[in-house]
Amino acid sequence: MSARHGSLLLLLSVPALALIVLPLVGLFLNTEIARFGSYVCCPQVAEALRLTLVTSLISAVLILLIGTPLAYWLAYSEFGGKQVIDTLVDLPLVLPPAVAGVALLMTFGRVGFIGIHLAPKITLPFTTAAVVMAQTFVAGPFYVRQARVGFESVPRQLQMASLTMGASPLRTFLKVTVPIASHAILAGLVMAWARAVGEFGATLMFAGNLQGVTQTMPLAIYAAMEQDIRIPVVLSVTLVAVSFLVIIVTKFLLGPKPAPQGAAAPSGRG
């Protein structure tokens, strides 16, 4: 790319960069550093931060466990109605969060077609488990899409060579497919985790805003808006800092993407 074309692209990129950077600058400029610790360390905020980290990590693990087989199946299977399934998987990406919360409530709530069979022994709405379910529902597609792209990028000849050399399908998956698709898998998992951390609408509708039980950081920010604008600003900065740190660490751990052509198929039976 010539210097002229690079300068033109940079100029055209300024509006998008400004839209991303300027709100973050405004957020940090309005943060009172002197009172930062007193806000973040108060019991309500500390509990909301702990609950956010715990539930989002549990959601990420669930997404990894249930989303990986789905992504692999969509990547390699051809069947009638695949486009319908693919569309249903992507639907939570565009579904308004409040609608997602109502859908979960109408399914797993006391009057839901599943919840009515669980009550009164098992109650899901307005519990910590409901927070995890809401986060998993809205964040799962981010992982499935990325993981599917990663699986589709694996050269089929490497997988066939592995099977030909006596490796089992599971060993081929673990030793050939996953290492090559690991960048996409980890990227999707980080995106899903970040979406789970920021989940608000579905959580509010399905899990409520109960301090110490379902009040995550986004809900704590919403509740604090009615008290003092300085508190939600500090809480927002905290979430931005945590998310930024996780993304930077993930990029560092990933390093440069390996070239699949140099990968070797494992031998031996598994």
Instruction: Report the range of poorest mean pLDDT among 15-24, 84-93, 218-227.
Output: 218-227
Does residue 206 lie within any of the structural domains? yes
Does residue 91 lie within any of the structural domains? yes
Q: What are phi and psi of 166, to 5 degrees?
A: 105, 0
* CB-based contacts of 246, cutoff 8 Å, min separation 6: 190, 193, 194
Q: What is the pTM of this model?
A: 0.85
Separation between Cα atoms, residue 68 and residue 4, nearest integer Å = 44
**For the domain that residue 149 is a member of, what is the CATH number?**
1.10.3720.10
Does residue 19 lie within any of the structural domains? no
pLDDT tens digits, one per residue of 161-176: 999 999 999 999 999 9
Domain count, the chain: 1
Give the structural domain span for 64.
Answer: 42-255
Does residue 223 lie within any of the structural domains? yes
> How many other C-beta atoms lie within 10 A of the C-beta of residue 55?
26
Give the pLDDT confidence score for residue 262 in this predicted structure: 47
The overall average pLDDT reported for the chain is 87
Instruction: Report the range of poorest mean pLDDT among 47-56, 92-101, 260-269.
Output: 260-269
Asked whether the predicted pLDDT for residue 101 surpasses 60, the reply is: yes
Does residue 130 lie within any of the structural domains? yes
**8 A C-beta contact, residue 211 and residue 44:** yes
Does residue 217 lie within any of the structural domains? yes
Q: What angle do CA 253, 60, 251 make, to 5 degrees?
A: 20
Q: What angle do CA 44, 45, 46 make, to 5 degrees?
A: 95
Does residue 241 lie within any of the structural domains? yes
Does residue 127 lie within any of the structural domains? yes
Give the pLDDT confidence score for residue 239 in this predicted structure: 86
